[in-house]
Amino acid sequence: NASFSDIQASDYDALVIPGGRAPEYLRLNPEVISMVQHFFEANKPVASICHGAQLLAAAKVLEGRHCSAYPACQPEVELGGARYANIDVDKAVTDGNLVTAPAWPAHPDWLAQFQKLLQ
């Protein structure tokens, strides 16, 4: 365990942003926003699922991307400058270093696509 102020994003090779309510609150923390931006600036692999798109939009890293998320997050994806990927709930989409999916049924496809980025 570590606090966000103790974490150096440069020490990590990839980022996973889970869904649920956490992104809604994490996007309010400037240290977390900075960490998310680091992974995009360094072109490191990022996997986001469900409501994780709320954190991506807040970090302003979606511009020009193709991104899936929980359907209720479609407005945030589009306001963040991305094209919303309206895919089946058990599918994922990769755009560059970013893998996204709408919900937990996509875990197998989402993790398989993320694994490819990690190789």
Residues recognised as catalytic: 50-51
* Nearest partner of 53 among 30, 81, 89, judged by Cα: 81
- Looking at this protein, which amino acid is placed at residue 78? E
Beta strand spans in 5-116 (E): 15-17, 46-49, 66-67, 83-84, 93-95, 98-101
In angstroms, rounded to a whole number, what is the distance separating the alpha carbons of residues 72 and 89?
A: 13
Burial of residue 43 (number of CB atoms within 10 Å: 0-12, 13-18, 19+)? exposed
